[in-house]
Amino acid sequence: MNVTYFEQTAGSFLFFFLLLLVVVWIAQRNQFFKLPPPMGKPPVLWRHLAGAFLVYLAAAVLVAVMTRFIRNFPKRWDEWEQLVGLSFMFLVLVGYCFLMNSRTRHFIFWGEGKASLSRFWKTAGMGVIGWTVSYPFVLISSFVTNLISKWLWGETESEQVAVKHLKMTIGNTPLFVAMVFVIILIVPFIEEFLFRGLLQNLLKRYLSRGWAITLTAVIFACVHFSSSQGIMNFQLILSLLALSGFLGFIYERERTLWASFGLHATFNAINVIAITLSQSQ
């Protein structure tokens, strides 16, 4: 790495680090990092988690079979296959939610509190605020991993598969709008239900709250590994690890799934806006 590159990266790192310190200071003064006492023993059992993942995998297999059939259709149908697949898996998981007993379903989405529209907006809003706290951590993580990648392999470019698909839809307005809807709303719901709602709650039956958040974050990040990206995928995994830690934290802080959903949806929305603006230049 030449001197100019080193100076640029050092300056960027200093800026991100100072931003991180300011955000942490403000959050600490407002007691953002203070967790309430743990909820009672989660009613989420192994059969709930296994059932959800089996249903999800079965839906994924069905989508894969359907995709083979769709590919015999004109090309325009092929472009919609991922959106149709994710939407179908979303509907399947929503159906699975209603097959669960009401106590478990209520605990996953609302904790031990009351279900109400006002609480939904309040906790989802806290998820949005959580994004402002978590994003500097994600930036620092991404910056450091990019620097390591540049040093070890001389490469820094790495994108999630979903990001690549989004960029491919720019120019096709109906497809782009549908992709944005899926990325901002459907994907966060699927992932938060599976990981925070089911996995994290299940782990809390056997581990402390901190360890449940950490282990869920690690599993969540690793699930996003893409073999097509090879070793470069570790950049995304480490960044997602930082994000996932905050998703687990905000879920425990607000005691509803809508808080982590709000953070996740906001994170995806900001990324979509950034990608769209960068492609329009």
- Candidate from 44-48, 84-88, 129-133, 151-155 with smallest mean pLDDT: 151-155
Helical H segments across 100-233, by residue range? 102-110, 117-153, 161-169, 173-181, 187-191, 201-203, 209-223
Instruction: Name the pTM for this structure.
Output: 0.90
Residue of higher predicted confidence among 7 and 115 = 115
Tokens (6 digits) for 129: 């605020």
Block residue for tokens 């620092």: 140
Are 158 and 149 in contact, with CB atoms under 8 Å apart? yes
What local confidence, expressed as pLDDT, does residue 10 receive?
Answer: 66
Helix (H, G, I), strand (E, B) or coil at 78: helix
User: Which residues are within 8 A (CB) of 133 and not within 5 positions of it... i.e. 6 or more apart?
Assistant: 23, 24, 27, 32, 246
Closest CA to 32 of 209, 249, 261: 249
What local confidence, expressed as pLDDT, does residue 132 receive?
Answer: 93
What local confidence, expressed as pLDDT, does residue 127 receive?
Answer: 95
Task: Give the span between the Cα atoms of 137 and 141, in whole angstroms.
Answer: 6
For the purposes of burial, counting CB atoms within 10 Å of the CB of 249, is it exposed (0-12), middle (13-18) or buried (19 or more)?
A: buried
Are 129 and 259 in contact, with CB atoms under 8 Å apart? no
32-41, 60-69, 167-176, 198-207: which is most confident: 198-207
Reply yes or no on whether the pLDDT at 98 is more than 80. Answer: yes
What local confidence, expressed as pLDDT, does residue 80 receive?
Answer: 75
Average pLDDT over the chain, rounded to an integer: 85
Reply yes or no on whether the pLDDT at 1 is more than 80. Answer: no
What local confidence, expressed as pLDDT, does residue 158 receive?
Answer: 56
- Candidate from 107-116, 208-217, 235-244 with smallest mean pLDDT: 235-244
Are 55 and 96 in contact, with CB atoms under 8 Å apart? yes
What local confidence, expressed as pLDDT, does residue 6 receive?
Answer: 56
pLDDT band at residue 72 using 50, 70 and 90 as cut-offs: low
User: Which residues are within 8 A (CB) of 238 and not within 5 positions of it... i.e. 6 or more apart?
Assistant: 141, 142, 144, 145, 221
Residue of higher predicted confidence among 87 and 231 = 87
Instruction: Report the Cα–Cα distance between both ends of the chain, in Å, rounded.
Output: 28
Q: Where are the domains of the chain?
A: 3-36+114-280
Tokens (6 digits) for 76: 């325009």
Tokens (6 digits) for 136: 């500097």
Structure confidence by residue, pLDDT tens digits, 24-71: 999 999 999 999 998 889 999 999 999 999 999 998 888 777 767 665
Task: Give the span between the Cα atoms of 238 and 231, in whole angstroms.
Answer: 12
* Amino acid (one-letter) located at 155: E
Between helix 234-254 and helix 117-153 the angle, nearest 10°, is: 160
